[in-house]
Structure 1
Amino acid sequence: MRDPKKPGKGGSRKPGARTSAPGVSADGTNGGYNAGMAVFSYIIGGIIVWSLIGWGLDYVWGTRWIVLAGALLGAVGGFYLSHMHGLTSSRINTGERHAASGPSQDGDTNAE
């Protein structure tokens, strides 16, 4: 008999279940290295794709500046996608106590 706590070999995901963004684990926390690689690939991929589109438009229209506008648009678009997928947000505080930034109000150290 199968243990209900362990996932089976078959796809345990429900059909139509929403998956997380690249670099984000299933529990919603960022993936460190994986999140960084996802941000990098979004930005570099955007630059490459939109530069090629700009290069093609430059060729068709006989201009020389659209490729640069495409590269800029690709970089901004890649960063926007990364931000919308939650890959560029700051780390979430899990409740552990961190040192305060700057001196305390009485001028002493931050130690208690």
Structure 2
Amino acid sequence: MPDQKKSAAGAHGRPGSNGSAATDSDASTDGGYNAGMAVFSYIIGGIIVWSLIGWGLDYLWGTRWIVLAGALLGAVGGFYLSHMHGLTSSRKNADGRHAPSAPSQDGIDNAK
């Protein structure tokens, strides 16, 4: 006998319905968090990788400043990559206009 709850959830496309994909509205609720984590990882990853390259060049050439230049280059490069992937663009509403980023006038926060 099929489970009524699972079949009803599957008909509406909700997550947890026997492996069906989430709807667009369900998938977009944490899009800002995922984009923020991607930007963070691009920038931190760039800083780490280019700092290590700068540290290696400092060791080989006997200098002390290339590691700092590498860290700066990694941060700028990580931000550039995240910008080119469209992760630093402003949020949009469903109708395509910019989403408000300030609190509402009545003080009620509608964040999920």
TM class, shorter-length? 0.5 to 0.7
Partner of 2:67: 67
Partner of 1:79: 79
User: How far 1:64 moved relative to its partner?
Assistant: 0.2
* Percent identity (aligned): 86
CA RMSD for the aligned pairs?
Answer: 2.7
- Whichever structure has more helix as a proportion of its residues is 2
Is 1:44–2:44 an aligned residue pair? yes
Task: Structure 1: give runs of 5+ residues left out of the alignment.
Answer: 1-24, 100-112
- The one-letter code matched in structure 1 to 2:78 is G
Task: Structure 2: give runs of 5+ residues left out of the alignment.
Answer: 1-23, 101-112
Q: Tell me how far apart the structure 1 counterparts of residues 96 and 53 of structure 2 sit (CA, whole Å).
A: 48
The TM-score normalised by the length of structure 2 is 0.58
CA distance 1:96–1:62, change in 2 (3 Å): closer
Q: How many residues align?
A: 73
User: How far 1:95 moved relative to its partner?
Assistant: 2.5
Q: Tell me how far apart the structure 2 counterparts of residues 49 and 94 of structure 1 sit (CA, whole Å).
A: 38
